[in-house]
Amino acid sequence: MPKMKTKSSAKKRFRVRPGGTVKRAQAFKRHILTKKSTKNKRHLRGSVAVHGADMGSIAQMLPGAGL
């Protein structure tokens, strides 16, 4: 059997935390920032956890992560 490969896009975008949750970056912070308020951009900083409804697709993209 061939090895199951990790999706390259997923390994760049997600990190698995020790507790089993997956962290991701916030969206809408890449471009067209001039029309967004400072408060909005400040709240888009940092990382958040992936929602539970999306964990199935994340587990398929990261087969070696043990999710």
| Tens digits of residue pLDDT in 28-62 | 999 999 999 999 999 999 999 999 999 999 999 99
Domain of residue 10, CATH code: 4.10.410.60
Position 15 confidence tier, pLDDT thresholds 50, 70, 90: very high
Is 66 contained in some domain?
A: yes
Secondary-structure percent of the chain, ordered helix, strand, coil, rounded to 5: 35, 15, 50
Is 21 contained in some domain?
A: yes
**Distance, CA of 14 to CA of 6 (rounded, Å):** 12
What's the pLDDT at 46?
Answer: 95
Is 61 contained in some domain?
A: yes
Number of domains in the chain: 1
Contact 61, 12 (CB under 8 A): no
